[in-house]
Amino acid sequence: MSDAVRAKRRDRTGRSAGLRQLPFGLVRNRYRPLDILGEDQIEAIHRASLRLLAEVGMEVLHEESREILRRGGAEVEEANCRVRCDPTLIEELVAKAPPVFTMEARDPAKNLIVGGDNLVFTAVGGPAFASDLDRGRRAGTYADMRDFIKLIHQLNVIHQEGGGPIEPTDLPSETRHLDFYESVLTLTDKSWQCWALGGYRVRDAIAMAAIANGIPQDKVDGRVIAGTVINANSPMRLDIPMGEGLVELARAGQATIATPFTLAGAMSPVTLVGALAQQNAEALFMIALTQLVRPGAPAVYGGFTSNVDMRSGAPAFGTPEYAKAAMVSGQLARRYRLPYRSSNVTSSNCVDVQAAYESGMSLWGTIMGGVNMIEHSAGWLEGGLTASFEKLIVDAEMLQMMREFLQPLDTADVGEAMAAIAEVGPGGHFFGVGHTLERFEHAFYSPLLSDWRNFETWEETGALDGTRRANGIWKELLRTYVEPPMAPEIREELGAYVARRKEQIGVGML
Amino acid sequence: MSDAVRAKRRDRTGRSAGLRQLPFGLVRNRYRPLDILGEDQIEAIHRASLRLLAEVGMEVLHEESREILRRGGAEVEEANCRVRCDPTLIEELVAKAPPVFTMEARDPAKNLIVGGDNLVFTAVGGPAFASDLDRGRRAGTYADMRDFIKLIHQLNVIHQEGGGPIEPTDLPSETRHLDFYESVLTLTDKSWQCWALGGYRVRDAIAMAAIANGIPQDKVDGRVIAGTVINANSPMRLDIPMGEGLVELARAGQATIATPFTLAGAMSPVTLVGALAQQNAEALFMIALTQLVRPGAPAVYGGFTSNVDMRSGAPAFGTPEYAKAAMVSGQLARRYRLPYRSSNVTSSNCVDVQAAYESGMSLWGTIMGGVNMIEHSAGWLEGGLTASFEKLIVDAEMLQMMREFLQPLDTADVGEAMAAIAEVGPGGHFFGVGHTLERFEHAFYSPLLSDWRNFETWEETGALDGTRRANGIWKELLRTYVEPPMAPEIREELGAYVARRKEQIGVGML
C-alpha cells in the first residue's frame, strides 16, 4: 500500500494519528450489584434446584464421573446413568471451590484475577462461521482464526482469548485443537481458553501452556494456566466428552467454567424462574463434581439462561429476560461465593443496531449483575454461530465504555472547579481557562470507534456508519500487528509437541 | 398500494400479521437505584453548588424574575443582573416543590405520574432537521412534524410527546407554536410538552390544552395540563425568554422541567464533578424561582451533564461520563425529593451501531440512576439536531425492552417448573409439555424490530438490517394511523383559538 493510499484511508476513518485505545488493564467493579430478587426468592430457587438434584438427578454419561460421584456419596443408578445427590453433599462440595483465583498468561503482566469484584473480558469462542463486510459469511478457516486471534491480541480492552474465536474447519477435526493452541500461544501473550471435548484436548492444552509459559511440566500443579467452559447438555445431562474434560481440568487444578445452556422454552421450562432453578442445579452439580475430583479446584458458576422465540423456536439473546437472568445468576453465584460467568450476546444476523442494543442489554445486565467473567465479550454474532470482524471492534468500544463507566468518579476537584466557574462567570465558556487547559487532554473517554464530528464533516469524509468504520479499524489493527516475542527454544518445543501429538493422534493415541 | 405490493412489503420486513407492540402502560422502576457516589460526596456537591449560588450567583436577564427573587429574599445587583441567594433560602424553597405530580393528557387513561418510582418516556423535542432513509436529512417541515407526531401516537411505549419533535421551519416563527399545539392536540391524545420561549407561548399552550381536554379555563388551576423544559444558559445565566416561560408556567401551576445544559469542558468545568455541581446550582436556582412564584408548583430536577470531545470541541453524548453523570444527578434529585429528568442521547450522525450503543448507555445510565422522566427517549439523533424516523423505531424497541426488564421477575412458578423438568427428564425438551403449552404465548418479550430468525431465512427475505426494517415499520405505522376522535365543537374551538391568536400575533399582541 502506498503512503498516499494509506493516508487517504486514515482520513476516511477520521483518524490521522493512529488508533486510540485504552491500555491493557485489570478491571474492578466497585459498584454494588443490582439484586432484582429478594433473599427469600433466591432461597426458593436454591431449594428447588437442590431438590431437583436429589429427586430427578442428573444423567451422567461419562462412566468415570459416575464412579467419582458414587465414591463421593451420590446415589448412582447405573441402568440409566442417573446420579442423585443429597442437598448437603452438594452444599458441602460447592463450598470447597475457591471464591477467587488467578489465571496465568504467557505475559505475567496479563495474568487475570477471577472472582471478587474483578471483571474479565474474554473474547468470543466457538463460532463455526467467520464474517466481515468484504468477504461476507463463510465457514471458518485456519487463516480466519489466526487473524481473529491477532486482533484479540491487538485490542487492549480484551483480557483473554475465549477458546477459539473461529473454528478452523479446513483442518482435520481430531488434531485442529493443536493448531489452535499453537496459534493462540504464539500470536498472543494473553491468557486463553482451551477445548474440553475429551480429556486429551485438555491434557494437550495444559502441556502446551506450560511450555509456552516456561513452566516445567512437573511444576504446573497449583497454578492455573488452562481452563474453559464445560457445558451441561441441558436438561440435566452431562455427556461423555464434557465429563472427560471436566474431570481432566479439575484433576490438574485447572479452571472449570461450569455452564448449563438453559434456554427457557426449549431445554428448560418456559418460565425464567424454572430455567434459572435448572441452571442452578446443573451448575452446582458440575461444580460439586470438580470438588470431588480435587477439592479446591477452581470453578466458575456459569449462567447462560435465555429464552426461545415461542413463535419460531429460535433462540433469542440480549433480551430483557436475558438481562434479568444474568442478574439473578449473579445473586446465586454470590450466595455460593463463587466467581460468576456470563456473556455478551445477540441474535442479530449482521452488525447493525440490533446487534448493538442486544449486546448493550447483555453487557449492562451482566455487569450490573456483578459478573466476574464475560465470555464472548467481543466478536459474537448471530446467536454465536458467527465471529464477526466488525462486531469485534464494536464490542471492544462498548467494553472500553463499560470499563470507563466502572472507574469511580473522583470528586476531589470540586473546589477548584468552583473557582473556575467564578473565574469564567455567568455566560462565559471554559475552553481557555487554566482549570481546563491543565486537564483537557485526559479529562474524558476517548473513543475507538465512535465518530463525534459534526454531520457536515462526517458526510464530506464518506458518511461511513459505525460498522464500516469498524471495518477500517480491524484492517488497520491487522496491518500493524506484531507477534509478541517468544524464545526460539520455546517456539521450537511447542512446534515439536504439536508434530509429535499429530503423529500420535494419527495412530489413535489420544 | 395494491394488496400484492403490501403483502410483499410485509414479507420483506418479516411480519405477516401486523406489528406487535406492548400496550400503553405506566412504568414503575421498583429496582434500587445505583448510587455511585457516597453520601459525603453528594453532600460536597450540594454544599459547593449552594456556595456558588451565594457567592458567584446567577445572571438573571429577565427583569420580572429578578424582582420576584428580590422580593423573595435574594440579593439582586441590578447593574449586572446578578442574583445571589443564601443557602437556606434555596433549601427552603426547593423543599416546597412536590415530590410527585400528575400530568394530564387529553385521554385521562394516558395521564402520567411524574416522580416516585414512576418512569415516563417522552419523545424527542426540538430538532431542526428531519431524517429518514428515503429522503435523507433535511430542514424540518410542518408535514414532517405531523408525521412524527402520528408515529408518537402510534407507538404505545412512548408516554408523552416531547415539545415538538421537528421544527416546522416552513411556517412563520412567531405563530408556529400554535400550529404545533393544534397538531399535537388533535393528532394524539397523549400528554405533551409545550414551548416556553416567551410567556405567550406558555399561555397559548395552557389555553389550548384546556380546550382540548375539555376543562373550562377557570378550572385549570390546580391541574397540570402543560409543562416543558426550561434551560439555563449555562454557565449561571437565565435569559429573558426562558425566565418568562418559567414564571408563566409556575404562576399557572404547570410543570417546569428545570434543566441546565452543563457540557463539561465548554459551558462547565472540564471535570465531571465540577459540571455536576454547576448543574445542581442552576437547577436548584430555577426550581427555587418556581417556588417563589407559586409555592408547590410542580418542578422537575433536570440533568443534562455530558462532555465535549476535547479534540474537536464537539459535544459527546451517551458516553461513560454521561452515564455516571446521570446516576449522580439521580442521587442529587433524590436528596431533594424532586422528580428527576434525564435523556436518551447519541452523537451519531446516522442510525447505526453507534447510535444504538450510545442510546443504550444513556438508557441504562438514567434508568439505573432512578430517572423519572426520559426526555428525547425516542427519535433523537446527531446530538439532538435531527429527529430520525428510523431512530424513533429503534428507540421504541429499546424502551420496550427496558420496560420489560423493569417488570419484576415472578418466582411463584418454581414448583410447577420443577415438576415440568421431572416430566421431561434428562436430555429431553420442553416444547410439547403442558407447562409450556399453557404459558408459551405470553411467556417472553415479543420484539417490535428485532429479527430473531436464522441467517438463511433472514437472507432469503432480503437481509435487511435493523435500520432498514425500522424504515418499513414507521411506514406501516403511518399507513395504519387513525386520528383519535375529538368532539366537533372542541375541534372547532381549537381552530378558532388558533385563527384568533394568529391574527393577534400578526398585529403584535403576544
pLDDT in tens, B454-480: 999 999 999 999 999 999 999 999 999
Q: ipTM score of the complex?
A: 0.96
**pLDDT class for A210, splitting at 50, 70, 90?**
very high
Give the percent of chain B with pLDDT over 70: 97
Gyration radius from chain B CA atoms: 24
**Which residues, 6 or more positions from B23, have their beta carbon under 8 angstroms from its beta carbon?**
B156
pLDDT given at position A15 = 40
Whether A257 has its CB under 8 Å from any CB of chain B: the answer is no
Closest CA to B330 of B70, B126, B115: B115
- Contact between chains at B455 and A313 (C-beta distance less than 8 A): no
d(CA B69, CA B289): 7
The pLDDT-based confidence of B9 (bands split at 50, 70, 90) is very low
Cβ distance B459 to A321 less than 8 Å, yes or no, reads no
Measure the CA–CA gap between A340 and A327, rounded to whole angstroms.
10
- The minimum CA-CA distance between A265 and chain B, rounded to whole Å, is 6
pLDDT in tens, B295-350: 999 999 999 999 999 888 899 999 999 999 999 999 999 999 999 999 999 999 99
Amino acid identity at A330: G
Q: What percent of chain A has pLDDT over 70?
A: 97
What pLDDT shows up at residue B310?
83
In chain B, pLDDT over 90 holds for what percent of residues? 94
User: pLDDT class for A473, splitting at 50, 70, 90?
Assistant: very high
Partner A, chain B 167-226, Cβ-Cβ below 8 Å: none
- The closest CB to that of A414, out of B274, B404, B408, belongs to B274
CB contact under 8 A, B455 and A382: yes
Contact indicator for A328, B453 with CB cutoff of 8 Å = no
DSSP B384: G
* pLDDT interval class at A367 (50, 70, 90): very high
pLDDT band with cut points at 50, 70 and 90 for residue A310:
confident
CA angle centred on B420, ends A43 and B409, rounded to 5° = 45
Q: Is the pTM of this model over 0.90?
A: yes
The rounded mean pLDDT for chain A is 95
Where does residue A17 rank: exposed (0-12), middle (13-18), buried (19+ CB within 10 A)?
exposed
Query: B105: which 3 cell numbers?
Result: 393528557
pLDDT confidence bin for B11, thresholds 50/70/90: very low
Confidence of residue B441 (pLDDT cuts 50, 70, 90): confident
Confidence of residue B13 (pLDDT cuts 50, 70, 90): very low
Query: How far, CA to CA in Å, does A77 sit from each of A55, A67, A247, A401?
Result: 12, 11, 20, 51
A414 vs B44: CB contact, 8 Å cut-off?
Answer: yes
Residues with Cβ within 8 Å of B330's Cβ and at least 6 positions away in sequence, in order, are B33, B303, B340, B342, B366, B369, B370, B371
Say how far apart CA B6 and CA A507 lie, in whole Å. 62
Q: Which three cell numbers stand for residue A452?
A: 463525534
Q: What pLDDT, on a 0 to 100 scale, did the predictor assign at position A474?
A: 98
The per-residue pLDDT for B369 is 98
Q: Residue A499 and residue A333: Cα distance in Å, rounded?
A: 41
d(CA B253, CA B232): 20
| Chain A residues close to B356, C-beta within 8 Å | 353-354, 356-357, 360
Say how far apart CA A72 and CA A247 lie, in whole Å. Answer: 14
Q: What is the pLDDT of residue A502?
A: 98
Mutate: best of B327, B359, B421, partner A, most A CBs <10 A: B421
pLDDT at B17: 44
* pLDDT of residue B14 exceeding 50: no
Q: Which residues of B379-389 are buried (b: 16+ CB within 10 A; e: fewer)?
A: bbbbbbbbbbb
Residue-wise pLDDT for A48-72, tens only, equals 999 999 999 999 999 999 999 999 9
Q: Which three cell numbers stand for residue B70?
A: 428580590
Mean pLDDT along residues A235-259: 98
pLDDT at B311: 82
Bridging pattern class, strands A306-308 and A315-316: antiparallel
Kindly tell me if the per-residue pLDDT of A505 is higher than 80.
Answer: yes
Does the distance separating the beta carbons of A315 and B273 come in below 8 Å?
Answer: no
pLDDT at A312: 83
Q: State the amino acid at position B108 in one-letter form.
A: P
State residue A311's pLDDT score. Answer: 82
Q: Which residues of A touch B398 (CB under 8 A)?
A: 357
The H or E element containing residue A505 is helix A488-506
The whole-number pLDDT of residue A354 equals 98
Per-residue CA distances from A192 to A50, A87, A111, A187, A424 (Å) = 32, 34, 10, 11, 52
- Cα separation of B280 and B43, whole Å? 11
- A161-170 per-residue burial string, b: 16 or more CB within 10 A, e: under 16: bbbbbbbbbe
- Looking at residue B170, its pLDDT comes to 98
pLDDT value of position B313:
86
Residue B5 has pLDDT above 70, yes or no: no
